[in-house]
Chains A and B, each alone.
Chain A
Amino acid sequence: MKRVGVFICHCGSNIAAAVDCEKVAENAKSFPGVAFSTDYKYMCAEPGQDLIKKAIKEHKLDRIVVASCSPRMHEPTFRRCIESGGLNPYLLEMANIREHCSWVHPDDKERATFKATELVRMAVAKVLKNEPLDKSTIPITKRALVIGGGIAGIQAALDIANAGHIVDVVEKEPSIGGRMAQIDKTFPTLDCSACILTPKMVEVANHPNVNLITYSEIEKVEGYVGNFDVTIRKKARSVDMKACTGCGTCYQKCPSKVPSEFEMEMMDRKAIYTPFPQAIPNKPVIDRENCRYFKTGKCGVCQKVCPTNAVDFTQEDELVTERYGAIVVATGFDLFDESVYGEYGYGKYKDVITGLHFERLINASGPTMGKIKRPSDGKIPKNVVFIKCVGSRDEVKGKAYCSKTCCMYTAKHATLVREKIKDSNVYVFYMDVRTPGKGYDEFYTRTTDQFGAKYIRGRVSKIYEKGDKLIVRGEDTLLGRPVEVEADMVVLATAMVAKSDAAKLAQMIGFSYDQNHFYTEAHPKLAPVETHTAGVYLAGACQGPKDIPDSVAQASAAAVKVCGLLSKEEMPTEPIISAVDEAICAGCGMCVPVCPYKAIDMKVIQERVHGKTISRKVATVNSGLCQGCGACTVACRSAALNLKHFTNEQILAEVDALCL
């Protein structure tokens, strides 16, 4: 026989002013299962809690209803209270007679009292069907995975490693460094990007806790928080990393030239190459698609010249599977395909380039050794036009969002042009100038006031070639008249977009992404580095356009989350999760796609039927992943799935109690 104790709280006069608490307590005595019922001024206060604990002992109560404020407020309090009174904390139900009753019905005590009584009756009916629940734990593998070796990935890896945990960094390219390695100078300080990035690259490469896995991609992700089994494809480098000393003889002698991706195809690299001189690891890979040996079977020059016999044409992709406790996704961004803007002539006119091309043009180790020369004829441009919001803030042809970094890097570019070419003129076509950030607006002001960049508010409508000039036509919307600039070079501030394979990776790991394929944080304000998948965190521009300081800050935040997780041997799991009745489950798998956490898998069970052993598939809930939403329970027609603490039976008991 179950013995329910009912405790009605006055909350001072908060409840008692509108609800006759004594009467509710009296009424509750007649409800089935109620062994004890009383009211008290402040249930949540020490004496109130003692009252409950004492009553549990004196009246041998085995489940408790507290009618007071919202359970969103004090459910944890009363759970702890009855636990210290000797009961399982989940044998508690609360009736919300304050927020949902006294406060909203202050003028009709009779009906408010009636409603409170009914709310208590519902809670009693439910608690009679409550089951004791226990928190369980899942083990944590103390190893983290960082996907992406750009500045965000490097920072996250360093922070995790410095906290004493082992980190693997998987980078798709032959070298870490990412986009920041391509950038020449950084705003607003104009310090050289390589000068601040390369020390970090070296630090992460030499860190005893960090394991760099370059030229590799994620192939498969299984498991859940604390226990992700990740399969990594280590692409064949065709170079034995152990033997190679990085001397560079091979790429000096290689006869196959390929446009360099790193140099935005303004320079060639070889088929055996390192992407840039400071690459880490500074050991080459063979680009098999462009290698003469792999294409024709003849050549092998690199192999012949290698002093350490490191070139190995027979290498194959290798798949390795490793278990990780947490994952940081820091896969970065791509550039918007600006050829969408035919009127700007990108791709048609050689001297219409993107901001990233410009970064290489002004870089001392770039194709022009740092001299600003226009790509078509190598002349030093005099009139340079910058166009902002190319692909950003354009719902029709581009992306609706602001790419956030373009205002500042365009100001930086404008400054650098004016600095390097003394007699130059710089024109910037803009929609708005957005400069929030420390020292940003000051930088922009210097660009216009000190360096004399001319900012023109308006869109460019057309660019066409006239002789060796580019005629840029647009409108100055502030003056309300058309403008025409004879430019030598045009630089487009193209939008940052998600990586083309961003969705694929998100699906593989199992978290969500937005319509632009940027990864979705768990909460835009309060959980900006978490994903909806426990144990998976975001850093950098894969989550949305970001500059370097923001990427680094987010990376460190993600690292803290990882460290918090890895600092524990095991983590407790919430017991309010779904459970499968295998006897009923037909294995139809309808529950699988409705689960937002990929918490349901199918497993094979064996059973005896008519003297024969048969095996069949049933659903199984992963307690590490299930968050207790109950979506699966409704998808299951035969009710083989049920959500603990909110079971079908409990909810129906409430419905029935309401209608007595």
Chain B
Amino acid sequence: MSDTHAHSIAFVRDTEIPPSPPPAGETGAVKWLRENLFSNAVNSALTIASLLVIYILLSKTLPWLLNGVWTTSSLAECREVLQGKTGACFSVLTERWNQLLYGFKYPSDQYWRPNLALVLLLFAIAPVLFFDLPRKLLAFTAVYPFLAFWLIWGGTILAPIVALVGFAAGAFVFQTYGKSSFAVGFFGAIAAAFAVWIIGGMLIPDGASDNAMLQAVPSRDLGGFMLNLMLGVTCVSLSLPLGIALALGRQSDMPLIKWMCVVFIEFVRGVPLITLLFVASVMLAYFFPPESTVDLFLRVVIMITMFSAAYIAEVIRGGLAALPKGQYEAADSLGLDYPQAMRLIILPQALKISIPGIVNVAVGLFKDTTLVSVISMFDLVGMIRGPILASTEWNGVYWELLGFAALLFFVVCYGISQYSQWLERRLATDHR
């Protein structure tokens, strides 16, 4: 207080007024209800109508869920237990659990192999998804495909080792010669890999798979949700790099490369996936040498990968087009060459812009793996429509089975979507 006011002011408060509580109606649940649910007549009516709808939905579904029967061995027994009451027959899920997850031909004493492959998948995929993890973990990611192949298909361990050595030889050749000339390194790497594969293929003795450590399981014995997951993971991880290559190829100054990419993308995108799958199951055999039996799983993977790569390429092209021209010019003016500019400047930004689109394609692709049921592969939907619903015990159990399939797919797809949102937040650098 300054002196000038000291005698002109009659009263100076020397203690603070204690804070008083807000009026009762202005806090807590009551206030929230009044502001959000009953702020005016229309809102109140809508609130009551919504409550009514929720009540009707729950009153129909809850008894069905809660009265569910889990332990019977056929639909008829379910009906007996329920005695006319509403109730789901979840017994089909417990009784056919293994068939739903692994298909009906995978040897049941070998289920630990796909299970182990799934657990290892989580470790292999973690450093790719979460790039704050130490980069050394990527070594396991590189080995994982071969390990998973050996675990799931079994047979001789020599086959995946030869495949791995082939890739390693290719990578080595590219590292050594790719620096001086990209073309020499690139084609040299392909030649080296094929040389290793052909020589290695001849070295593997004919009966190597007969008494192998892991019993060999042919591709047609794979099935259930396992097959969906295998197709989904393989095709997404293959189609992303292929899609990037196609998108860059489409922007290339070299007419031959550009037109090859344009024709590929436009052709594959213009054809329904189911057509491609029929081609894979029936016609593709004509394109391979008669004595070679290219695996059906591999053929399907090729087709789905091509299909989604074409879509991903277009999504990424959108991301590339969204980048200001100045970014290319700045990269050029600093003396970065084309691969460096793409890898360090252009693609990180273009891919970031494309995340929602890429995730869209990935989720769609994962769900499209159920289409293989039309070419008589017994994936989750194929199992449900085929062996399970056709059996005398479970003929007619639709809601429980298809609801379960929907739930499995929803969990995975929702997970992908949540990851992509985390990724977008993590990569946001334009905040102030």
Co-assembled chains A and B:
no
Residue positions of A touching B, CB distance < 8 A: none
